[in-house]
A and B are shown apart, each in its own frame.
Chain A
Amino acid sequence: MPQELAYLKESASQTAGPYVHIGLAPGAAGFDIYRQELGHDITGRNAKGERIRVEGRVIDGMGAPIKDVLLEVWQANAEGHYAHPEGGGDVEDGFRGWGRVISDFETGEWSFETVKPGTTKGRNVGTQAPHLNFWIVARGINIGLNTRMYFGDEAQANTADPVLNLIEWKHRRATLIAERSETDGLPTYRFDIQLQGENETVFFDV
Chain B
Amino acid sequence: MTQPGEFYQRDRSIQPAAFTPNYKTSVARSPRYSMISLQNSVSEITGPRFGHNDIDAGDNDLLTNYAKADESPIGERIVLHGRVLDANARPVPNTLVEIWQANAGGRYRHKKDTYLAPIDPNFGGCGRTLTDVNGYFFFRTVKPGAYPWRNMVNNWRPAHIHVSVFGSGIVQRLITQCYFEGDPLIPICPIVQTIPDTGAIEQLTAKLDLNATVPLDSIAYKFDIVLRGRRSTLFENRLEGN
Binding site for B on A (CB under 8 A): 6-24, 26, 29-31, 33-36, 38, 60-62, 64, 66, 68, 72, 74, 76, 82-88, 96-98, 105, 120-125, 128, 131, 133, 135, 137-146, 148, 162-163, 166-167, 172, 195-197, 200-206
Overall SS of chain B's interface: loop
A97 touches B226 (CB 8 A): no
A166 to chain B, nearest CB (A): 6
User: Which chain B residue has the least Cβ–Cβ distance from A131?
Assistant: B43
Give 13 pairs: A residue, B residue, CB < 8 Å, sorted on A.
A9-B199, A10-B87, A12-B16, A12-B203, A14-B162, A15-B175, A38-B54, A96-B48, A120-B42, A140-B27, A141-B30, A200-B32, A206-B38
A140 touches B175 (CB 8 A): no
A24 touches B98 (CB 8 A): yes
Overall SS of chain A's interface: loop
B204 touches A12 (CB 8 A): yes
B99 touches A23 (CB 8 A): yes
Q: How many residues of B contact A (CB 8 A)?
A: 94
Report the separation of the CA atoms of residues A120 and B40 in the bound assembly, to the nearest whole angstrom: 13
Q: A22-B126, A123-B3, A203-B36 given as contacts; is B226 within 8 A of A11 (CB)?
A: yes
Greatest chain A CB density within 10 A among B40, B111, B168, B204 is at: B111
Q: Does B39 contact A (CB under 8 A)?
A: yes
A88 touches B126 (CB 8 A): no
Report the separation of the CA atoms of residues A74 and B98 in the bound assembly, to the nearest whole angstrom: 18
